[in-house]
A = this chain, B = another copy of it.
Amino acid sequence: MHKGFALWFTGLSGSGKSTLSERIYQRLVAAGAKVELLDGDEVRTHLSKGLGFSKEDRDTNVRRIGFVAELLAKHGVIAITAAISPYIETRAAVRERIENFVEIFMDCPIAVLAERDVKGLYKKALAGEIPHFTGVSDPYEPPVAPDVRVDSSTEDIAVSEERVWTLLKDRGLIPLSW
């Protein structure tokens, strides 16, 4: 079968974390894996209600997701997370606690994100109407050495999916036969 591990997506809002993580999740489910998708919004409802967007609150949110991912991975479950997780130090602290940790950096240029602006948030943020918007009015610290770097503005999502899938095999985290 497969190992327990955390597949940790990080990147700005709109960079494709949810879309790619959902595809990997569905593929793992189809393969019969024990897998849990901890999406940013779901987690904010169940684990982090009441937290805001200050550095401290964001860190608490990310550490909490990390705690749950750690428990799952420890017992052989695959935990996929897709929260922005903007700070290097906090991601490093989580990585430290999880034996098998794979970091996927969704690295889409902000100009493209502002152009797409699916939820209309970038327009508002760039107009100064959202005080703590990551990448505009709040910091995002990109990973220095992610396990996979995906630029969703240039790469087809099927290709990104395949790269992540191949990495999981190369690392021995999922069977080669999958």
Give A contacts to B, CB under 8 Å: 34, 36, 46-47, 49-50, 60, 63-64, 67-68, 71-72, 74-77
Q: A50-B60, A75-B75 are in contact. List 5 more A-B contacts (CB 8 A).
A: A34-B75, A36-B71, A47-B67, A50-B50, A75-B77
* Complex interface: chain B residues within 8 A of A50 (CB): 50, 60
* Complex interface: chain B residues within 8 A of A49 (CB): 60
Complex copy number for this chain: 2
Q: Which of B46, B67, B75, B76 contacts A63 (CB 8 A)?
A: B46
Are A64 and B36 CB-contacts (below 8 A) given A72-B71, A75-B72? no
Q: Are the CB atoms of A46 and B75 closer together than 8 Å?
A: no
Q: Are the CB atoms of A47 and B75 closer together than 8 Å?
A: no
Bound together, the chains give a CA A60 to CA B64 distance in angstroms of 14
* Complex interface: chain B residues within 8 A of A68 (CB): 68, 71
Bound together, the chains give a CA A47 to CA B74 distance in angstroms of 17
Name the CB-closest residue of B to A49. B60
* Complex interface: chain B residues within 8 A of A76 (CB): 34, 75
